[in-house]
Amino acid sequence: MKFDKLPYDDVLKEIGFVADSLGYECYVVGGFVRDLLLDIPNDDIDVVVVGKGTEMAKTYVNYLRQEGQPAKYSLFENFGTAQVKAHDMEIEFVGARKESYDRGSRKPIVEEGTLHDDQLRRDFTINAMAICLNDERYGELVDPFNGVEDLKKGLIRTPVNPDITFSDDPLRQLRAVRFAAKLNFIIDEETFKGIQRNTYRLEIISEERIAIELMKILASKHPSYGIILLYETGLLKEFLPEVNALYTDGGKKEGKRGHKNILEHTTQVLSNVAEKTDDVWVRLAALLHDIGKIPTRRYVEGEGYTFQGHETIGANMVDVIFKRLRLPLDEKLDLVHNLVKLHMRPQSIVADGVTDSAVRRLVFDADGHIDELLILAEADITTGKAWKKARFIEQYEELKKRIEEIKQLDFVRTFQPCVSGTDIMERYGLAPSKRVGELKQIIKDAVLDGTVENTPEKLYEILDKEMGYEK
């Protein structure tokens, strides 16, 4: 196969011209080639040079400068790579290489190699294709592992024995799932079995790298498919045992009706959320929203299985997961923690009747993320009974209508009591204590219930009475 013209044709021909001047073979490789064949835009250009990648980058930048075009490079001599910034793009250059690995590390021993050596070290056949940029062979596709056919089949497959690929770099196991979820491809049977045999190798991968791949899977077009693959391969239990444990038999006991398989329910909720938002943190909350059900699952005679307090336990488990995976311990954690903790509240409100007080409390506790909470709560309705689902949706629409009325009046601000804990301590000579928290809760309840005007004078009247200062 040969392409007469490529995306960013002028840029790639410039690179080929410089390579010819140095006597180097030169190829664009990886995701750029894969996405070109899938007709997906991609300006991420990786260039493999059969020679010195750093020399190629420097020569290319000098050529551009002579032509009056701004360009600069960053060299990484230890890795034999370079990055060029030009044409409002970042172009990566690397010398063709072959690699060998020590089993205790992802860091390879690198030697200069041929194009074929370089393609052998790639993770999957669909990422191992190259297109020549030299003038004489410009546009010629080099595909030694039938990556084109695998693209047509929708197949993720390693170019060499999967045990070698995944043992050398265990992170590639998560990348296999990520590409499957991104492209809606299947994982080749031998590649799939290779992952199952090598899941334990994730032990040499840092938590940060694992978390990055997890978040990319959640950000993909088919995140639930990705989570199912993580479970089926055995990868999930290696870094998210709390989610892996959600696969249950439904808790059937002595012929009595059990509960839904929690993992199946979770992936359905994740799919529902993904249809409504690209926010990866809301998607993460969907994945984690029921993790508290396993530690709280109890069988009650006459009632079946219960999960009392699972939302609170689950929220606390979120904190542990964020710390373990080195996820940001900032407002992102606060968001996911809060969504998991509150995800049952909207259902409770619509079941008990939508009151102004309940809506005010919900908006207040959602802390600026009421829209995200409603997306999760509505996605959590996975009943197969059409009449039941229709009733829930109707109730949620009423709840959303009432919330919108409150939001227009900026109740998040209005219903924050204007008397703080510091104010209370100064007025009544109290030290930080449980009693201060109790007093804050008293005025918060009064404000949210709408029984008092949110002014210092009115709130202090309540507090004075509580403290026995009433005249």
Specify if 52 maps to a domain: yes
User: Which DSSP letter does residue 138 get?
Assistant: T
Q: Which is it for strands 25-29 and 130-132: parallel, antiparallel or unpaired?
A: antiparallel
User: Which DSSP letter does residue 128 get?
Assistant: S
Specify if 251 maps to a domain: no
pTM, 2 dp: 0.83
Q: Read off the tokens for 460.
A: 């202090």
Summarize pLDDT for 25-69 with one digit per residue, the tens.
999 999 999 999 999 999 999 999 999 999 999 999 999 999 999
User: Which DSSP letter does residue 302 get?
Assistant: T
Q: Which long-range contacts (CB under 8 A, 24 or more apart) does 211-217 make?
A: 211/325, 211/326, 211/327, 213/171, 213/174, 213/175, 213/177, 213/178, 214/174, 214/239, 214/240, 214/325, 215/280, 215/284, 216/178, 216/182, 217/174, 217/177, 217/178, 217/181
Are residues 164 and 116 part of one domain? no
CB atoms within 10 A of CB 91: 24
Q: Read off the tokens for 110.
A: 């690198």
Averages of pLDDT over each 10 residues, the chain, 471 residues: 93 96 95 96 94 93 93 85 93 84 58 88 95 96 97 97 92 97 97 97 95 97 97 97 86 51 94 96 98 92 86 97 96 96 90 80 86 93 79 83 72 69 88 89 84 84 84 52
Specify if 218 maps to a domain: yes
CATH code (residue 207): 1.10.110.30
Provide the residue count of the chain: 471
Are residues 405 and 335 part of one domain? yes
Domain count, the chain: 4
Are residues 106 and 26 part of one domain? yes
Burial of 330 (0-12, 13-18, 19+ CB in 10 A): exposed
**CB contact at 8 A, 72 and 24:** no
Bridge partners (DSSP) of residue 101 are 108
Tell me the residue range of the domain where 171 lies: 154-239
**Predicted pLDDT of residue 256:** 46
Are residues 57 and 119 part of one domain? yes
Are residues 303 and 434 part of one domain? no
Specify if 408 maps to a domain: yes
Specify if 257 maps to a domain: no
Are residues 177 and 215 part of one domain? yes
**CB contact at 8 A, 158 and 200:** no
